[in-house]
Amino acid sequence: MNNIELADYSSFDTLDFFSDENFIRYVLQPQPADIAYWTEVLVRYPAQKNAIEEAEGWIMMLNTQAVYTPPALNSEQAWDKIQTRMQHLDRRKRTYIIPLQQFAKWSGAVAALFLLYLGISELMQQGQQVFHSAYGQLRTVTLPDESIATLNGNSRIYYVRNWRSDKPRELWMEGEASFKVKHVAILNRVQQADSFRVHVNGIDLTVLGTQFNVKNRRGKTEISLVQGSLRIDKSGINAFSRMMRPGDVFVYDGNVLHKGLQQRTARASQSWTRKELDLDGYTLGDIAQILEDTYGYKVTLNAADLSARKLSGTIPLGSADDILFVIEKVFNVSIIKNKNQLLINHKTN
C-alpha cells in the first residue's frame, strides 16, 4: 500500500475533492485501483476525512437524484403516438413527396438536356455554316442579315456564322446561286463594313443591296447583275476590278474577265429561280451542260451539229422528266434515258 504515489491533498477541501476528476470517477465508477488509491489517501490524510466524506456525499446525492416520472408517464402510449405520426408522414412521403421529387429530378434532367442541346447547336452554328443542294433541287437560304440566297441544283454556299456589323458580310460559293442582298447601309453613308462579299472561283464580288446571279460551273463563272451595283475584284496575279451595271453579264474563265454575250440577258440567267429556263442565248450544248451540272445527268450528244442549235423560249423546270420531254419537243430530238445517262440523238423518222 505504501508504494502508491499520491498527489498532495493536504490543502484540499470538500470542493476540491468534489471537482477532482479522479475522485469523481472513484465515486461514480470505482475500479479496484481507484478504491486502493483513495483508501490510501484516507490513511495518509486523516484530517481530510471530513471533506472527502462530504464531497462523496455531494456527488452521490447528485448522482442518485430520483428520476422524475410524472404520474401519467406511459412510454408505450407515447411510442404509439409517435408511431402513428411516423406512419402518417411515411404515407404522405410515398404519395406526394417522392413522386414530386422524382418529377423534379426528371424535369431537371430534361431541362439539362435541353440546355445541352441549345448549347451544342449554338456552338455548332458558331463555326462554318454550309448549305448545299442536291441535283435538281432548289434551295432557299436566309442568311443571318436576312439576305436571301437561292441555290440551284448541285450547289454549295458556306459562310462563317457570326457576321458582325463592323465587318463586311462574306460568303463562299460553288455551283449556281442567285442573291437578293439586304441593303444595310444608311443612306449616303456607305461604309466598307456594309458591303456583302461573295468569293467564287478566285474572284471577289462586292455589292451593297442588290440582286444578282452567279453561275460557277466547269471553272467558268458567269455573273449576272439584275439590280443595284456590283464590283468584281481579283487580287494577286492578273488583278482587275470592274464595276457592273444592272443588266450586265460578265464571264470569268479563271484567267480573263470579259463581258458576256448580249444575247443572254441578266434576267434570263435568274430564270431558274422561278423554276423556268429561259432559252435565250443557250445552245443545246449549253443545256446539256446544265443537265449535267444542275441535274446530275451524264449527257451524250450524238451529233455535233445538234450542239450548236439554238432556240428561244422558256422551259418550265418541274421534274427532270418534264424538262426532258420539253427538250425533245422543242429541239426536235430523241432522248434515251438510262438511269442517269442521257443519249441525245436526231429524231429518227
Partner 1 sequence: MISDEQKAWDEFRYGSETALKFIFDSYYTLLFNYGHKFTPDDHVIEDVIQDLFVKLWVDRDKINATAAVKNYIYKAFRRRLIRKLDYAPLIMAFPATEEKIHFDIEPGHDHRMISAERTKKIQHNLAIALEKMTSRQREVIHLRYFEEMEFNDIAEVMQLSTKDTYKLLYRAIDTLKKHLPRFDYLVILYLLDLQRK
Catalog residues that contact partner 1 under the rule CB under 8 A. 13-15, 18-19, 24, 28-29, 50, 53-54, 56-70, 72-73, 75, 78-79, 81-83, 85-86, 89, 93
Q: Which is nearer to partner 1, 86 or 120 (CB)?
A: 86
Cell of 32: 479496484
Q: Which is nearer to partner 1, 60 or 109 (CB)?
A: 60
* Smallest gap from residue 158 Cβ to partner 1 (A): 55
* Smallest gap from residue 33 Cβ to partner 1 (A): 19
Q: Which is nearer to partner 1, 84 or 255 (CB)?
A: 84
* Smallest gap from residue 95 Cβ to partner 1 (A): 15
Q: Which is nearer to partner 1, 101 or 302 (CB)?
A: 101
Q: Which is nearer to partner 1, 94 or 275 (CB)?
A: 94
Taking the C-alpha atoms of residue 328 and residue 349, their distance in angstroms, rounded to an integer, is 14
Q: Which is nearer to partner 1, 54 or 286 (CB)?
A: 54
Q: Which is nearer to partner 1, 50 or 341 (CB)?
A: 50
